[in-house]
């Protein structure tokens, strides 16, 4: 069985946020909702400081906490490794939002897209 993964070479990421914009455009997520974020991290103490860009999205965890807490089985891990949501089963309890250690889940309670009332 194929197992899907996404790889990111952090040495090559320059924090341009183009992936953030592309995800926003492709999925028409509502204002304030970002399925893809790039963290801009500064570490160390002057003058020995370092700036790191860290792209963040759903990690499709091997043992997803969001699946474990979902009372309706709306969230499931598929055999190909992807974590999927069945919107018809979701009751909007937000358990998954609280359980996700990567802050990858978000919840909205109305069909509201970035470019109007319909997805692209
Ligand atoms: S939503 Fe969070 S907990 Fe669930 S698979 Fe994605 S990263 Fe893991
Ligand atoms: S909000 Fe939906 S997907 Fe998340 S835990 Fe509740 S029922 Fe499951």
* Ligand 1 pocket mutation, candidates 8, 94, 95, 100, criterion most atoms within 8 A of CB: 100
Question: Residue 69 belongs to what domain range?
Answer: 58-106
Q: How confident is the model at residue 119 (pLDDT cuts 50, 70, 90)?
A: low
What integer pLDDT is reported at residue 120 of this predicted model?
Answer: 64
In a domain, 85, yes or no: yes
Ligand 2 centroid, distance to 47 Cα (angstroms): 46
Into how many domains does the chain fold? 2
Q: What is the CATH number of the domain that holds 13?
A: 3.30.70.20
Mean pLDDT throughout 76-91?
96
51/92 same-domain check = no
Ligand 1 centroid, distance to 45 Cα (angstroms): 32
State how far the Cα of 29 lies from the Cα of 55, in Å rounded to an integer: 18
| Ligand found nearest the CA of 70 | 2
Q: Per 3-state DSSP, what percentage of the chain is helix, strand, and coil (rounded to 5)?
A: 15, 20, 60
pLDDT tens digits, one per residue of 43-77: 999 999 999 999 999 999 999 999 999 999 999 99
In a domain, 31, yes or no: yes
Q: Has residue 78 got a pLDDT over 90?
A: yes
Q: Has residue 107 got a pLDDT over 80?
A: yes
In a domain, 90, yes or no: yes
Task: State if residue 19 touches ligand 2 by the CB under 6 angstroms criterion.
Answer: no
Q: How does DSSP assign 20-55, residue by residue?
A: HHHHHHHHTPPTT--SSEEEEEEEEETTEEEEEEEE
């Amino acid at each position: 069985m194929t197992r899907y993964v996404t790889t990111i070479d952090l040495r090559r990421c320059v924090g341009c946020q183009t992936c953030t914009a592309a995800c926003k455009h492709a999925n028409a997520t509502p204002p304030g909702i970002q399925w893809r974020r790039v963290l801009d991290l500064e570490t160390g103490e002057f003058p020995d400081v370092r700036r790191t860009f860290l792209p963040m999205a759903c990690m499709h965890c091997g043992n997803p906490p969001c699946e474990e807490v979902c009372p309706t089985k709306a969230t499931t891990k598929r055999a190909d490794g992807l974590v999927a949501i069945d919107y018809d089963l979701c009751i909007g309890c937000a358990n998954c939002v609280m359980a996700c250690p990567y802050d990858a889940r978000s919840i909205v309670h109305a069909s509201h897209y970035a470019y109007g009332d319909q997805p692209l």
